[in-house]
């Protein structure tokens, strides 16, 4: 198998395109409107004509309206039109074009752009006459995005389905923060792989088992602070009826004597295997070992209740647990596992875990591979991304507007 590039170096669709400021941020009086020069507005227009290179549709930014404003000769009207389009465009480049319900089961916050940063960026772009550079600086820098962009350029527009698959996955990269971390774990659900990346280099990559169709794994980011060795399994309420009263499960009762939940103690039958990652999040999703390791041999590994079963997770835990002078070497981990004691092994430095859903990715040789759209999430993204249902964006233009 050819290794993939490291994948691994929400507003409503019609809402205001500027990302909201964090809650509690003081908002000052509106600043004076920035005044554009004609060559600057023309540069923006040219950028819009060519934005299909990023998998976006020029029509979404009304280039004809901006062209009319330039030709109209009113500096303030032209500036207002240009600023409006700059705001929409910069928002889409930084945060993604598709918003709201089309981002199915998406729970990652991207703070790459807010109103303050957007205005600062515009002021810089106009003050330095580097509008294209300022906008390009919002784009994902991950090599996967660059590979998809190249694939989009060389794929014939007649191959509509392939073009759209590439476009929607480029937008998914824009949904993510540009900075995923100097060291991070990324789980691509459709590929069924978990990968540890450090300084843009893949350090560790293993097979994963993700959520079944009925219990899909959500897209989220959480900080892994350590692992629980010899863990108890807190049985989810959704499947508690399946285990209630069965041997090997312990009932937790309330003061009234009624069973409130079920737990499975550590041991060879424990569904979490010998360890689970501590990565707090509201969805109770985490990486863990398993007592059914033969499932890693399956080609389609959508089999869990939502959490991510991870092959050879002991090695990953040792890599992270011993990093930065941490005490949790593989030998120390094995010692605790053999003791049968439940112990939390904390990492010196927490590591972000990004659980994502890329149905198209690039291999090291640039080859584009498409994965099965397990949870049928692509259709809504395509529908939201297209200007006209089923049509690919036009080939980028090379003309520059003139007044």
Residues known to be catalytic = 288, 307
CA 140 from centroid of its chain's CA atoms:
11
- Under 8 Å between Cβ of 274 and 288: no
Nearest to 87 by CA among 36, 50, 39: 36
Torsion sign (Cα): 133, 139, 145, 149: negative
- Under 8 Å between Cβ of 23 and 135: no
The burial of 220, by beta-carbon neighbours within 10 Å (0-12 exposed, 13-18 middle, 19 or more buried), is given as buried
Q: How far apart are CA 345 and CA 352, in angstroms?
A: 17
Residue/partner pairs of 288-296 with CB below 8 Å, 24 or more apart: 288/231, 288/313, 289/313, 289/314, 290/209, 295/209, 296/207, 296/209
């Amino acid at each position: 198998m050819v290794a993939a590039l490291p994948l691994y170096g929400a507003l409503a669709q019609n809402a205001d395109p500027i990302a909201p400021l964090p809650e509690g941020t003081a908002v000052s009086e509106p600043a004076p409107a920035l005044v554009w020069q004609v060559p600057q507005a023309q540069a923006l227009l040219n950028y819009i004509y060519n934005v299909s290179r990023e998998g976006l549709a020029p029509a979404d930014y009304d280039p004809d309206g901006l062209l009319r404003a330039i030709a109209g000769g009113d500096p303030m009207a032209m500036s207002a039109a240009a600023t409006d389009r700059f705001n929409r465009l910069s928002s889409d480049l930084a945060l993604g074009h598709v918003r709201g319900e089309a981002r199915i089961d998406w729970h990652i916050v991207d703070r790459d752009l807010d109103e303050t940063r957007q205005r600062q960026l515009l002021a810089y772009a106009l003050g330095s006459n580097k509008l294209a550079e300022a906008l390009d600086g919002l784009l994902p820098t991950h090599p996967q995005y660059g590979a998809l962009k190249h694939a989009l350029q060389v794929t014939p527009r007649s191959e509509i389905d392939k073009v759209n698959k590439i476009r929607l996955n480029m937008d998914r990269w824009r949904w993510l923060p540009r900075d995923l971390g100097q060291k991070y774990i990324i789980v691509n659900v459709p590929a069924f792989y978990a990968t540890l990346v450090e300084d843009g280099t893949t350090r560790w990559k293993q097979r994963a088992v993700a959520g079944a169709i009925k219990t899909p794994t959500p897209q989220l980011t959480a900080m892994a602070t350590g692992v629980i060795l010899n863990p108890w399994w807190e049985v989810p309420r959704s499947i508690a009826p399946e285990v209630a009263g069965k041997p090997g499960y312990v009932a937790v009762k309330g003061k009234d004597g009624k069973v409130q939940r079920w737990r499975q103690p550590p041991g060879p039958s424990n569904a979490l295997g010998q360890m689970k990652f501590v990565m707090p999040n509201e969805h109770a999703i985490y990486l863990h070992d398993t007592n059914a390791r033969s499932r890693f041999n399956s080609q389609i590994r959508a089999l869990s209740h939502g959490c991510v079963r991870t092959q050879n997770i002991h090695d990953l835990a040792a890599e992270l647990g011993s990093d930065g002078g941490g005490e949790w070497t593989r030998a120390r981990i094995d010692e605790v596992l053999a003791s049968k004691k439940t112990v939390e092994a904390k990492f010196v430095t927490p590591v972000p875990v990004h659980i994502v859903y890329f149905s198209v990715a690039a291999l090291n040789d640039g080859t584009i591979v498409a994965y099965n759209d397990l949870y049928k999430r692509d259709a809504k993204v395509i529908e939201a991304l297209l200007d006209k249902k089923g049509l690919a964006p036009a080939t980028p233009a090379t003309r520059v507007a003139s007044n």
